[in-house]
Structure 1
Amino acid sequence: MTEPATRVIVVTVFVIGALTGCSRRDRGQREVIQNKGSDTLVNVAQAWAEKYKEVDPTVAVAVTGGGSGTGISALL
């Protein structure tokens, strides 16, 4: 296979993979953003969550502390 054809295939696969998560939400389905980790910033994160609820009430933001270890394990 030629190099330009390989590049086209790689870019196409990448774009398809990136757009897979961009589908629309079903009606009635609520989106949840989870913020886990830092005890230091938990109060700030809670304030951000409350303000964001004013901007988009269809999205729930769950804020929990627990320390950096909790945040890192939530990512994994």
Structure 2
Amino acid sequence: MQQSQLAGGHAEHLLEHTWRPERPAQARDAAADFLLDLPPPLATDLVLLVFELVANTVRHAGGASAVSLRADCRSI
């Protein structure tokens, strides 16, 4: 986990990860690892979202070249 500064001197926790999945299941597993600290209902929904997006890129566009997730104290 990295830490950067926000305006006003408040610390922001930042986590960022990029990977190149060959299969939707790889994206799902990487997203699940990334989101371990989130409350279960939110993490489950986000993992499903990543899985579906990557599955659609495999089905309709030949695959995802990269998937990036970034989280801070206000957003994912």
Q: Choose between structure 1 and 2 for higher RCO, CA contacts under 8 A separated by at least 6 residues.
A: 2
Greater Rg, structure 1 or structure 2? 1
Normalising by structure 2, we get a TM-score of 0.29
- Greater share of helix residues, 1 or 2? 1
Normalising by structure 1, we get a TM-score of 0.29
